[in-house]
Amino acid sequence: SADIAMYYAKERGKNNVQFSSEELNTVSLERFALESSLRSALENQEFKVYYQSKQDMKGHVTGMEALLRWQHPDLGLVSPMEFIPLAEENGLIIPIGRWVLKTACWQNVAWQNQGFPELSIAVNLSVRQFFDKGLLVDINTVLQETGMSPALLELEITESMVMHDVKQAIQILRELKKMGVRIAIDDFGTGYSSLSRLKDFPLDAIKIDGSFIYDMTDCTENKKLTESIIEIGKTLSLTVIAEGVETVEQLNYLRSISCDQFQGFYANEPLPATEFAAMIQASTIMNNPAARSFKV
Ligand code: C2E
Ligand code: MG
Ligand code: MG
Ligand code: MG
């Protein structure tokens, strides 16, 4: 965006780096600016993990998804859609991903110790992280260091990730399952996974991509496709989670076709840890008067 280009121009002045306008188009200007500040973002503590609830069809919170946020000192909040692909390319995703995993698990254990109900936590993995040699050791270390129960950790991967190298992906997934963690396919329906392959993957859940849900109430095709995805999930004994649920109509429809769980702005937007905790506390008290003594 223009903000990012302007920021880059400022930085360029500071560092006295000279490029002609022909040398760099706007896109590479933005990338250069983001990339240089991404390198120091971790040590400058500019990352935050937000949490979005995952709920069953009765509206009970069953878990949460950890979603990374980057609070850039000059640009404000930068979307993960912008900086994750960059971190993928330059390898920074490895230390950043490790940090997200550790922060999310640590937070979940802290809430558990404060008397929260048992909630699962989902963490997104990127392709480079998934195939990284250090992944299994990293996850093991985080589980040990935080005392997190593996059964409460759900790793979200995508179809295109596993299709990248099916044989190796199956092996990694088997190792992860041995550790006791759960595996979900994120953005389901947008990738290229072959249905005959899907059954070979040791999975626990699929998440229907939000693009099927957003305009579902006006779109017969999307309704039918969503129904088919739910059927595939049931056939493979997987938990089916709908993403991007924004309205009660969408939720009612998903309930009528036996979707298991949902996430979306209808329940809550991704929230900073303290706000998420307050929301859980409020909903727990509402649903269960005996939980009034519950402390955050
Ligand atoms: P995702 O894993 O599919 O996460 C769902 C995205 O949909 C999130 O965007 C979330 O804020 C958004 N969302 C949730 N409910 C609604 C809704 O009702 N309506 C709409 N319009 N959007 C909704 P976000 O947080 O911007 O993240 C975008 C993507 O960035 C994520 O998609 C995920 O692929 C990636 N990402 C986020 N955090 C991490 C991370 O820690 N590691 C990695 N590798 N990727 C991450
Ligand atoms: Mg996800
Ligand atoms: Mg994702
Ligand atoms: Mg998704």
Q: Which are the contacts of 198, defined by CB distance < 8 A and separation ≥ 6?
A: 232, 236
Lowest mean pLDDT among 100-104, 182-186, 216-220: 216-220
Q: Given this model, what pLDDT does residue 9 score?
A: 52
Measured at the CA of 267, the angle between CA 143 and CA 129, to 5 degrees, comes to 35
Cα 52 to Cα 55: distance, rounded to the nearest angstrom: 10
Cα–Cα distance measured from residue 48 to residue 103, given in angstroms and rounded to the nearest whole number: 9
Model confidence at 20: pLDDT above 70? no
Considering the entire predicted model, what is its pTM? 0.89
Looking at ligand 1, which residue's alpha carbon is closest to its atom 2? Answer: 124
* Letter string b/e over residues 7-41, b meaning 16 or more CB atoms within 10 A of that residue's CB: bbeeebeeeeeeeeeeebeeeebbbbbbbebbeeb
- With 60 as the cut, is the pLDDT of residue 292 above it? no
Residue 153 has pLDDT above 60, yes or no: yes
Rounded to the nearest whole angstrom, what is the distance from the C-alpha of residue 207 to the centroid of ligand 2? 8
Pocket of ligand 1 (CB under 6 A): 52, 67-68, 79-81, 84, 97, 100, 124-126, 156, 186-187, 210, 243-246, 263-265, 270
pLDDT at 116 over 80: yes
Beta bridge partners of 272: 50
Is the per-residue pLDDT at 72 higher than 70? yes
In whole angstroms, what is the distance from residue 84 CA to residue 93 CA?
7
In this prediction, residue 34 has a pLDDT band, given cuts at 50, 70 and 90, of confident
* Two tokens, residue 240: 């089916």
